[in-house]
Structures are given as structure tokens and as C-alpha cells.
Amino acid sequence: MDGLLSGLKTIVDSLGATVLLPIVIFVIAVVMGAKPGRAFRAGVTIGVAFIGINLVVGLMFTSLSDVAQAIVKNTGITRDVVDVGWPSAAAIAFGSSVGLWVIPIGIAVNVLLLMTRMTRTLNVDVWNFWHFAFIGSLVVAATDSLFYGLVAAALMAALALLFADWTAKAVQRFYGIPGVSVPHLASGQILPIAIAVNWVIDRIPGLNAINLDTDVIQKKLGVFGEPVILGLGIGLVLGAIGYYDAGDAATVVSKVLKTGMNLAAVMFLLPRMVKILMEGLIPVSEAARSFVQKRAGDREILVGLDSAILIGHPAAISSALILVPIAIVLSIILPGNRVILFADLAVIPFLVAMAAPVVGGNVLRMVIIGTVTLAVGFYVATALAPLFTSAAVSAGFALPEGTTQITSIVDGFLWVSYVLVEAVSGLGIVGLLAVLAVIALCFIGFHRRPAAWERLAGSDDPAPAQAKGAAASPAE
């Protein structure tokens, strides 16, 4: 059995998301009745779209990492917990003892919840099961119990489906992507924070009336408010902050202009990659709808995808780029913080994208929510760094030279990870049962009053930000 699981893990790890996802999409579409030719084209198109998204995100990653390193060098700050990036976290997760079991566990949890009608999401994003394995590996590091780690991974698979169902209508309405949901823990975990912070903002006179929706910005600024020009402007500002003393005037100007153009390209290209993805999703969504209607009447089945489908929206990218220097400032000023960010600054769009529907795309509110989320994340990462490092060593991950402890925004910054690890390490099986009970109660609460939960996530007009004078979202 271990040999079979090890082989499956090796295949998934070697293929990666851009190859694995098209295969899964093709198989699912054919099983649901799509014509093989159409299913094949859909799978390839989705794979191409994710390759395009990864290329653009890679450009953003390179640009932001270079700027961040320059800003950190300028400030002279040092911290003993180093951000090694999500690719390292994924390698640690799949290399852990939990990683061997996470794919069958994730599929089993999804099938069970689908059969019991507790979820509408069919999670085809198998590659991102590594998030469940990673949190499970933290639990193993804390308790030295593989059983606890496997149960923790199963609970996180269920929680991801809860977040996916909860936000599905909001995602479809705001982002204009029908028939999908996003079972991505790193994105979904911001939702409670976004709802709470947005509630507070709504009660602050003056602040509650400020609307920085990207449509409003474009109307007020004309061509200078277009996403591509916004990306250029934000890139020039970040470049100037990072490279003001990078050498002679020609070198500084060159680096600043390149940063501006790179981020302008990100703002321009990401939405187009998402459009290609939507083209590939149409046959799959149609086949799923037809399949379910023949067997379960009007029951809706959603295709669960990576939150990469969200980050092409101008509100997500703009707020994330503004949050880059804020994240660096937070790492300097937060008392007791031991984390310095480098590699994972480019994943900030993934962290804030789910807040956009809650606030109607108001960039100012997204920046405030993102700042609170990152501030919480720094303390979570500081607390979890010893376990993160222990899990990495157990998985055979080589620490960077001169580094004693490591972390990652994904998943080292997530409050979900911290709550689960603390509950299990402190209470053992009782902690696991307590987390299970909370998740079960949330599922029950959602199914009893779905419309109320979905309104909190931003599925209904007027959204909280719109009630205070904000414009309709760009997707409407």
C-alpha cells in the first residue's frame, strides 16, 4: 500500500499542476458525459491558461523579490526567521509522512461530503492538496503522531470545501466566472478577517465613505486609472523606493523603469490568462451541470479550482502591490516579530483576492484588511517557525546556508494553521475533536442559512462597501 501511495505522490509531484490539472479535467469531463474531443481541448486549454498565469506570476515574483531585497538592504533590518517561499513549503509537504497519504485522504473527504450533500464543490485542484499535507506535517512535528497529522489534513480538506461553498456565489458574481468555487485555504482564510474588519470600517465616519473601486479610479483618472497604467505607476513607486541608491543615475533609472514595465505587464496579462481559463472551463461546467441534473435534479456541482483564477482582477493586483512595502514595514515595526519576507511577497494577491467581493472591490478596504491579515500572519509565522523548520528537516529539506529557522506566507502565516496546531498540541485528541465539531457546526450553519452566509462573503447587492456609496463591482 505504501508503495502505491508513494508512486502516486511521486507522479503528482513530478507532473505538477500544469500537467496534472488538464488530465484530471479531461477525465472528469468525459465521465460526466462530455465528448472526448471537447473534453480534451478543455483540459489542454486550462493547462495552457495555468502555464500563462504561472509565467506572469513568475514575472511578478522576480520583480517584487528584487525590489524587496533592495528595500530590506536599504533598511538594514535582519531577522532570524527567513521566508523560503511556497515552492519550498510544497516540497516539504509532499516530502513529509502526511504527503504520502494526502491525495487519497483529500479525495475521500471530497467524495464523502459530496455524497452526503454537505458540499457542492468537486475539488479538481489535486496539486494543491499539499496545503492539507503541510498543515498535517506541522501537527506531526508538534505531536510526533502521524495519526493526528492525517486527521488534521482531512479536517483541512473539509474546511477548504466549506470556504469554497461559502464564497462560491461571491466569486462567481464579482469575478464573473460561473460554475466554479475556490477550495484554497490560503485564500479562504482571509474571509472571517475581511468580514470583521469591513464591519469596523463601516462604522468609522469618513473612512466608510471613501471608495477606491478600480472602476471609480478609472473614471476619475481616465487613462491614468486603467489597470495597465496603475501597474506602471505602482511599479515605478516601488522601484524608486527600492533602487534609489542602486548606483549611478542611469542604473537607478533603468531598474525603476524595468520594475514599472514588468508590473504593468502583470496587470495587463493576468486578466487575459484568466479569460483563456474560462474558455476551457465552459465545456466542463456544462457537462457537470448536465450530469447532475440527470441524476439529482437541480443540484449544482461546482468545479473547485486554484485561486489563481482570481488574481487577474485589478483590485486584487493593485491592493497586493501596495501591500508589498507595507509588509516590509510591518516586519520592521511589529514588536516581537522575527520574520523577514523575501520569496513569498508575490503570493500576496492570493491572500487578498477573496476579500474583494466582501468590499465590492474597494482597494483601500482591501489594503486595510490585507494589512491586518499580514500583521496577524507575522506573529503566527514567528510562533510556528520552530515547527515549520522541524517539518522541513524531517522531510529532508536543506535549509538555506546560514539559516536556523524558516517560514512561508503560504502556509506559515495562516491563522488556521496556528489554531489547529495549538489545539492538537495542547489537547491531543480532544483538540482534534473540538476542531472537527467547529467545522461540522459551520457546515450545518451554512446549510441552514446559506443566503445569510453568502451575503457576508459579498454575494448579494448591495455589498457592504456599496451601501456606503461605493460603485458596483467591475464584474457586474
Instruction: Please confirm whether the linkage preceding 411 is cis (ω < 30° from 0).
Output: yes
* Average of per-residue pLDDT across 201-211: 90
Whole-number pLDDT of residue 200: 96
Whole-angstrom distance, CA of residue 104 vs CA of residue 199:
39
Higher-confidence residue: 35 or 135? Answer: 135
Whole-angstrom distance, CA of residue 50 vs CA of residue 15:
14
Starting at the edge strand found earlier in the chain, the sheet holding 302-304 runs 121-123, 302-304, 180-181
Nearest to 102 by CA among 118, 81, 126: 126
* Average of per-residue pLDDT across 345-356: 88
Instruction: Please confirm whether the linkage preceding 283 is cis (ω < 30° from 0).
Output: no
Whole-angstrom distance, CA of residue 130 vs CA of residue 98:
9
- Asked whether residue 33 carries a pLDDT value surpassing 90, the answer given is no
Whole-number pLDDT of residue 469: 32
User: For 118-162, how does the pLDDT look when each residue is reduced to its tens digit (9 = 90+)?
Assistant: 999 988 887 788 899 999 999 999 999 999 999 999 999 999 999
User: For 38-58, how does the pLDDT look when each residue is reduced to its tens digit (9 = 90+)?
Assistant: 888 888 888 888 788 778 877
Mean pLDDT of the chain: 82
**This prediction's pTM:** 0.81
Whole-angstrom distance, CA of residue 286 vs CA of residue 35:
11
Whole-angstrom distance, CA of residue 391 vs CA of residue 407:
11
- The segment with the largest mean pLDDT, out of 224-233, 280-289, 424-433, is 424-433
pLDDT band at 216 (very low <50, low <70, confident <90, very high): low
Whole-angstrom distance, CA of residue 362 vs CA of residue 354:
12
Three-state DSSP at 396 gives coil
Whole-number pLDDT of residue 54: 76
User: For 251-281, how does the pLDDT look when each residue is reduced to its tens digit (9 = 90+)?
Assistant: 888 888 988 898 888 878 877 787 787 777 7
Q: Where are the beta strands (DSSP E) in 306-447?
A: 339-340, 405-407
Domain boundaries, the chain: 70-271+306-467
